[in-house]
Amino acid sequence: MKPLPDSAQRVADLLTAMGHDRQVVMLPETGKTSAEAAAGLGCSVAEIAKSIVFRRLSDDAAVMVVASGSNRVDEAKVAALVGPLGKADARFVRERIGYAIGGVCPIGHLGKTVMLIDQDLLELGSVWAAAGHPHAVFSLTPQQLVTMTAAPVADVALRADR
């Protein structure tokens, strides 16, 4: 078996230390978008737990929303919960979170990250999250995601009816 890239191995080691029973999987094609990851895994786009990072304006903190791949994140809803937000560029994400965009994992961050989990993920039996590399993912239940991150669950999806 081919060794994992360093960033994915770091996630695999962290998952093992947490007692997680599922392995990091390397996709043959990139999983940079939810649609690409879902196609590579043979699952629905909703089952991709995508990590979206913002920069909180008041203190420059990293704010991560782990959302269902089928949802667009409503920035106004997130800002109402954590404070005004700005864009997080690739350098900010790598420096604050520790992963490159396209492989941003919900665990193993370099520093303290303000996190929220999309309530729609809890309706699913299992989800796939990025494992530190654009080709690396791991499977977990939504409840495991909540436990691993200790993040609050919130309504963060942009909805046409609201």
- Per-residue pLDDT tens digits for 25-74: 999 887 778 998 999 999 999 999 999 999 999 999 999 999 999 999 99
Sequence spans of domains, the chain: 6-154
Q: What is the CA radius of gyration of the chain?
A: 15
* pLDDT of 151: 98
Q: How far is CA 114 from its chain centroid?
A: 12
Asked if 97 contacts 91 with a C-beta cutoff of 8 angstroms, the reply is: no
Beta-sheet pairing, 113-118 with 153-154 = parallel
Q: What is the pLDDT of residue 103?
A: 93
pLDDT grade, residue 161 (50/70/90)?
A: low
Predicted TM-score (pTM) of the model is: 0.95
For residues 23 and 128, what is the distance between their CA atoms, to the nearest angstrom? 11
Q: How many CB atoms lie within 10 A of CB 5?
A: 18
Q: What is 6-154's CATH number? A: 3.90.960.10
* Rounded to 5°, angle at Cα 70 from 66 and 71: 60
Best CA proximity match to 62, nearest among 36, 28, 96: 96
Q: Are residues 28 and 36 in contact, defined by beta-carbon separation less than 8 angstroms?
A: no
What is the model's pLDDT at position 55? 98
Span 102-141, pLDDT tens digits: 899 999 999 999 999 999 999 999 999 999 999 999 999 9
pLDDT at residue 1 greater than cutoff 80? no
Compute the distance between CA of residue 18 and CA of residue 14 in angstroms, rounded to an integer: 6
